Amino acid sequence: MGVIKKLPVYTETIPGGALVVTNLEAVLNFGRAKSLWYLLFGTACCAIELMCTGASRYDFDRLGMIFRASPRQADLIIAAGTITKKMAPRLRKLYDQMSEPRYVIAMGGCTIKGGPFYYDSYSVEKGIDHIVPVDIYIPGCPPRPESLMEGCLHLQEIIRKQKLSDWQEK
Amino acid sequence: MTQQELTAYILANYDGKLTLLDTGRAEPMFELKPDDLLEVTRRLRDDPQLKFDFLCNMGGVDTGQRLEVVYSIASTTKHLRMDFKVVLGYENPSIETITEIWPAANWYEREMYELYGIEVKNHPDMRPLLLPEDWNQGFPMRKNWDAPDFIRMPEL
Amino acid sequence: MPELRTEEYQINMGPHHPSTHGVCRLLLTMDGEKVVDAVPYVGYLHRSIEKICENRTYAMCIPILDRFEYVTAMSCNYVFSLAAEKLGQVEVPERAEYLRVIMLELNRIASHLIFFGTTAMDLGALTPFLYGLRERELIMDLFEMTCGQRLTYNYIRVGGVSRDIPPEFVPKCREAIKIIASKLPDYEGILNENPIWLARMKGIGHTDPQQAIAWGVSGPVLRASGVKYDLRRDDPYSIYPKFDFDVAVCWNGDNYDRYLVRIEEIRQSLKIVSQALDGLPDGDIRAKVKAKFKPPAGEVYVRIENSRGEMGVYLVSDGSEKPLRVKTRGGSYNQLQFLPEIVRGRGYLIADIVAIFATFDVIMPEVDR
């Protein structure tokens, strides 16, 4: 079984089958990382590259990632595209509606620091990290699908290293 | 009628309400007074030789000394196109709406009001279009507009 | 029997909704299941592109205007270069004109393939989405070979194009045309006679041609209502008079006709690209233009036929190296204004509104800029 090879386990054969001992964190993190469902939050140009990453050539489904339309069913927001001052409260509302554990990827230059709209723009929110806490930043304008997939793989590494106590109520 | 004959036709038949501006361009640019706007545009639309039924573009311009409103119209049947403008000053600029002549002007006039401050009289639905609902920092597209978080690009 | 008391209520659709048309909010007034009125609220992607362009030189404006309508970024570059060339009276060499036409038409095909994919996805069919984007990857490979970018090209500059095509472009382009032309019967085979597609598209969203012209609607939406108005024929620019192609027109003005018009336009664009590849001359690819381009003072309005309608730029220059005013006009702006007129009082359901919005092919940055 491929899954057993990827987790830290202790196996022992007993009559009728096997005994597998592992720790809950490893199993839960493995399950979460390999099946991230992302919320389609595409506002601008990076949304087209997000669509292309989910399509035939650069398939997102092989990483276990499917788009969902509702924030209640998603655990990742890929914020793809410029966020304006009018749209910022809506992004926060969507983030608040997701249930924990939840992650945010900031895709594209506009979400990092305003991108090409940093100078001379009166209506662009220059970066989203003062609206929602961001886990991964992916630079590019727009980033290639390969960059986006690398960002998601990094996120999977981060999730595999998380502890159960991170998400417990204090 | 071709584009060249259009200029002569307009100057001959519109009693001097549309004056030709000398800008040295291939396509003519006419100027109109704000009070004649509705009457002349209605004639341009209904004239059987011209039939300008398509409003291509309408926008405000801030040249630094004055405000202007520029209209571009076209005819889908006669293959003609023309532009004209209305010149306004900075104090209380206001203009009549032309939504009863070309309904396409609806959103163009709303946008022009909230970005330049040019008031549009008798508009059916004057609500803000593009800016956030709680915007209270003035008219952003004017040349002398500034705000604390507005960062200008430095000269290279 | 007591009288039933009914009242109208409002449902909010957007600004974040699962179809990838961007961020548009529709406030629907409902009477039971039927939609009484649909009012669009826009501005969620207003990035003040026009204010930015006033503080950039002409060469710097081109990548900013790429983002004005990113699905057909070549057209945005082209219309601004056309305006600047008209003001500065720059003569563009012939090889550059041919390259420009090839890129514009390839971009039109790519945009219509996205329309095909996302419209089917909005109505619930996921297979056409994967088909359309698979063919679009062939075109993106061609663009990447030429200018290095997949989406926002910065390729068509003032005076010509920025770099020449590599030698492997022409054979790969011919192969891509052959592949796309052979897949079009597949696309029509999935959708054209499909009973679900016909039930959701035929007879819904009828547009009246005179009303559409009065509201400034152009492009495939106007041609599907029976008005044969295509700027490549009626107000020609560049070298389009040299090519032999038909203008696709339908007569009913409903959703199904808007879909058919765009599929036919893909075929006609393939024809234009192969004619342009056959006639590609040698020569310069860019006229001699200074790096700090300074056209004489004046103003001009130019317009081209984009895949969404008429795209125009009104450019005012005061003789310096930065434009005084750049006003951009996109086809989706007028189409979104027109949406309440065809929805009011017809008794459509919410699913019909989704289908109408999808076939209008509205892209929000064109509306909000």
Q: Does A125 touch chain C (CB under 8 A)?
A: no
- What is the sign of the dihedral through the CA atoms of C60, C66, C67 and C69? positive
- Minimal C-alpha gap between C327 and chain A (Å): 16
Q: Which residue has the higher pLDDT, B11 or C223?
A: C223
Q: Which residue of A has its CA nearest to B148?
A: A122
Q: Which residue has the higher pLDDT, C121 or A2?
A: C121
- Minimal C-alpha gap between A100 and chain C (Å): 21
Q: Above 70 in pLDDT, residue A10?
A: yes
Please give the DSSP secondary-structure letter assigned to residue C247.
P
Q: Does C318 touch chain B (CB under 8 A)?
A: yes
Q: What's the pLDDT at B155?
A: 82
| pLDDT band (50, 70, 90) for residue B23 | low
Regions in chain C scoring below 70 on pLDDT: 19-20
Q: Does B126 touch chain C (CB under 8 A)?
A: no
The predicted complex's ipTM stands at 0.91
Q: Does A66 touch chain C (CB under 8 A)?
A: no
- Out of C23, C47, C150, closest to residue A123 by CB: C47
CB contact under 8 A, C20 and A119: no
Taking all residues of chain A, what is their mean pLDDT, rounded to a whole number?
Answer: 88
Q: Does A10 touch chain B (CB under 8 A)?
A: no
Which ranges in B70-130 belong to alpha helices (H)?
105-116
pLDDT tens, residue by residue, C122-171: 888 889 999 999 999 999 999 999 999 899 899 999 989 999 999 999 99
Q: What's the pLDDT at A169?
A: 67
CB contact under 8 A, A120 and C48: yes
CB contact under 8 A, C325 and B106: no
Q: What's the pLDDT at B25?
A: 64
CB contact under 8 A, A40 and C20: yes
Packed helices C169-191 and C255-278: angle between N→C axes, nearest 10 degrees: 160
CB contact under 8 A, C325 and B76: no
pLDDT tens, residue by residue, A129-153: 899 999 999 999 899 999 999 999 9
The span from the CA of C287 to the CA of C156, in Å, is 12
Chain A adjacent subunits, 3+ CB pairs under 8 A: B, C
CB contact under 8 A, B130 and C227: no
| CB within 8 Å of A158: residues ≥ 6 apart | A135, A136
pLDDT tens, residue by residue, A102-114: 999 999 999 999 8
- Name the strand (E) or helix (H) holding C300: strand C298-306
Q: What's the pLDDT at C257?
A: 92
Q: How many Cβ atoms from other residues are within 10 Å of residue C12's Cβ? A: 11
Q: Which residue of C has its CA nearest to B22?
A: C298
Q: Which residues in chain A (35-94) have CB-CB distances under 8 A to chain B?
A: 85-86
CB contact under 8 A, B152 and A119: yes
Evaluate whether residue C1 is within a structural domain.
no
The half-sphere exposure of A161 on its side-chain side, counting CA atoms within 13 A, is 5
Question: In which domain, by residue range, is C188 found?
Answer: 9-368
Number of B/C CB contacts below 8 angstroms equals 86
Chain C adjacent subunits, 3+ CB pairs under 8 A: A, B
Total domains in the fold of chain C? 1
Nearest CA-CA partner of C290 in C321, C323, C324: C321
* CB B144 within 8 Å of CB B67: no
Mean predicted confidence (pLDDT) in A7-36: 88
Q: Does A73 touch chain C (CB under 8 A)?
A: no
Nearest CA-CA partner of A112 in A146, A137, A147: A137
Q: How many Cβ atoms from other residues are within 10 Å of residue A157's Cβ? A: 9
- Minimal C-alpha gap between B137 and chain C (Å): 15
Q: Which residue of B has its CA nearest to C314?
A: B57
Q: Which residue has the higher pLDDT, B27 or C239?
A: C239
The span from the CA of C106 to the CA of C139, in Å, is 7
The span from the CA of A146 to the CA of A20, in Å, is 37
Residues of B in Cβ contact (< 8 Å) with C214: 53, 102-104
Q: Above 60 in pLDDT, residue A170?
A: no
Residues of B in Cβ contact (< 8 Å) with C310: 56
pLDDT tens, residue by residue, B92-142: 888 888 988 999 999 999 999 989 988 888 888 888 888 888 888 888 888
Q: Which residue of A has its CA nearest to B138?
A: A122
| pLDDT band (50, 70, 90) for residue B77 | confident
Q: Which residues in chain C (81-100) have CB-CB distances under 8 A to chain B?
A: 86-87
| pLDDT band (50, 70, 90) for residue A1 | low
- Out of A85, A119, A121, closest to residue B132 by CB: A85
Q: CATH number for the domain including C120?
A: 1.10.645.10
- Minimal C-alpha gap between A19 and chain C (Å): 43
- Minimal C-alpha gap between A145 and chain C (Å): 10
- Domain-by-domain residue ranges, chain B? 3-91
DSSP codes, A59-94: -SGGGT--EESSGGG-SEEEEES--BTTTHHHHHHH
Q: Which residue has the higher pLDDT, A3 or B106?
A: B106
| CB within 8 Å of A119: residues ≥ 6 apart | B151, B152, B153, C52, C55
* CB A145 within 8 Å of CB A62: no
Please give the single-letter amino acid code of residue B129.
L
Interface test with B, best of C213, C311, C321 (most B CBs within 10 A): C213
Q: Which residue of A has its CA nearest to B141?
A: A122
Q: Which residue of A has its CA nearest to C49?
A: A121
Q: What's the pLDDT at C19?
A: 64
Please provide the CATH number assigned to the domain covering B3-91: 3.30.460.80
Q: Does C64 touch chain B (CB under 8 A)?
A: no
* CB B10 within 8 Å of CB B18: yes
Structure tokens at B142: 């004017």
- Out of A51, A82, A142, closest to residue C20 by CB: A51
pTM check: above 0.90: yes
Q: Which residue of C has its CA nearest to B154?
A: C55
CB contact under 8 A, B131 and A123: yes
Chain B residues interacting with chain A (CB cutoff of 8 angstroms): 130-133, 137, 140, 145, 147, 150-153
Coarse DSSP helix, strand, coil percentages of chain A, rounded to the nearest 5 percent: 40, 20, 40
The span from the CA of A82 to the CA of C147, in Å, is 24
Q: Which residues in chain C (22-61) have CB-CB distances under 8 A to chain A?
A: 22-23, 43-48, 51-52, 54-55
Evaluate whether residue C3 is within a structural domain.
no
CB contact under 8 A, B152 and A120: yes
| CB within 8 Å of C273: residues ≥ 6 apart | C102, C105, C106, C109, C173, C177
Q: Does B153 touch chain C (CB under 8 A)?
A: yes
Q: What's the pLDDT at B22?
A: 65
Q: Does C130 touch chain A (CB under 8 A)?
A: yes
Mean predicted confidence (pLDDT) in B21-36: 76
